[in-house]
Amino acid sequence: MIDLLNEQQMPPDQLPLHGADPGVDRSTTELASLIEALLLVAHDPPTIDELADAANVTVSRIQDALDQIASHSERGWIVQRHGNHLHIATSPRFATEISAFLGLEREGKLSSAALETLAIVAYQQPVTRSEIEAVRGVDSSGVLATLHARELVEPVSRLAAVGNPFQYGTTVGFLKLFGLGSLTDLPQLGSVDGGDGAALLNIAMSGAEQVRTDTVISIVPAED
């Protein structure tokens, strides 16, 4: 009887859920707190499935709790998604104070070439160095090395083509640097020289693909 009275006095989002789900007695608010705790102690970024197993709840309930975390913008942290894995990070709105506290404001800023290359990787990943150079029109090995050293890009796969070149993608560090929850939060490309930025980038990438195809054809001996 006392438990029932207590439930009636609780906010709706904190009420225990009664049903067939495992972990049913844990409210969404409590589950959100548990997720934050698990992310703080995790040695490696877990997946949603791993969090569901740890909390003994369904994946859909983990997703509901993540949505609740995302809806509370007043918190000092956010949950970021990189591929299938989840990370906890400080809120972007405190970037200035955190950088000053940690002495990070003394770090060198990214050059325009680095930002340009990083944008190509972010919007077209996975992408090879030759594809990046086809878009930029200049050698990009040095700037790629810089971005890799700063843990903003990383090799994610190899292209099934001549030489099996590395394909690059962005990292968790990229998400943290720009305060993104996931790659879906990337802003839409604007106009470039009066044209649609996304369309122009796709055209440039298509040109790189054609160059690669022509190269493959040229080194394959013709049949007699």
Per-residue pLDDT of the chain (224 residues; tens, 9 = 90+): 444 444 445 554 544 444 445 566 789 999 999 999 999 999 989 999 999 999 999 999 999 999 999 998 888 989 999 888 999 998 888 888 988 888 766 556 789 999 999 999 999 999 999 999 999 999 999 999 999 999 999 999 998 888 889 999 999 999 988 888 889 989 887 544 444 445 555 554 555 554 443 433 333 344 44
Q: Where are the alpha helices (DSSP H) in the chain?
A: 2-8, 28-41, 48-55, 59-71, 95-102, 112-124, 129-136, 141-149, 172-178, 197-219
Q: Chain-centre distance of CA 38, in angstroms?
A: 19
Q: Do domains 2-94 and 108-219 have the same CATH topology?
A: yes
> Coil, strand, or helix at residue 82?
strand
pLDDT for the residue numbered 157: 93
* Domain extents in the chain: 2-94, 108-219
The DSSP code sequence of 88-152 is: EEE-GGGHHHHHHHHTGGGSPPPPHHHHHHHHHHHHH-SEEHHHHHHHHSS--HHHHHHHHHTTS
pLDDT for the residue numbered 188: 82
Q: Chain-centre distance of CA 59, in angstroms?
A: 20
Instruction: Name the token pair of 105.
Output: 């404001």
Torsion of Cα atoms, 136 then 189 then 160 then 210, to 10°:
-60
Minimal CA–CA distance to 98: which of 87, 108, 89?
89
Q: Which CATH class, in words, describes the domain spanning 2-94?
A: mainly alpha
Instruction: Name the token pair of 109.
Output: 């800023």
- The structure's pTM equals 0.64
Q: Which CATH class, in words, describes the domain spanning 108-219?
A: mainly alpha
The two beta strands, 77-82 and 85-90, are antiparallel
